[in-house]
Amino acid sequence: MTVSYNDDLTGKSFNNLIVSKIYQSNNNIKIKLETIKFKLDIKKFDLFLETANSNIDYRDSEIPIKKIKVFIDIKSLLLADSKIEKINIELEKINLKQLQKLTNNFKPSNFKNFIKTELLK
């Protein structure tokens, strides 16, 4: 059994949780989240958060987000030690210039080389 709920007041506290956890892992990322919908799977005791049409700013490169889904261990939430298990991010389409600007911020890698040599010819 799954229960869905959409609440601006509760959503803001989940916004703060997600943004702070992302910032802790990488302080070069700034994220703006819209209203969060959350679903509680009572049978599995899982919590899923979802938001759409958000934006990520990574080192002055804006990345438009279509949808973000966050999976939280509800037991850790009840113990006041929130643990995000998984985050799925679905991106909007970006053009090649946006991709090039974004990859300039990456460390040297095969992925960066592939984009520069194969896609941005």
pTM for this structure? Answer: 0.66
Per-residue model confidence as pLDDT tens digits over 9-26: 455 677 777 788 778 878
> Assign residue 36 a region: left if phi > 0, alpha if psi is -120 to 50, beta otherwise?
beta
Per-residue model confidence as pLDDT tens digits over 61-103: 888 889 988 888 777 777 777 777 888 889 888 887 888 788 7
What pLDDT score does 9 carry?
A: 46
Per-residue model confidence as pLDDT tens digits over 55-67: 888 888 888 889 9
Question: Where in the chain are the domains?
Answer: 2-93
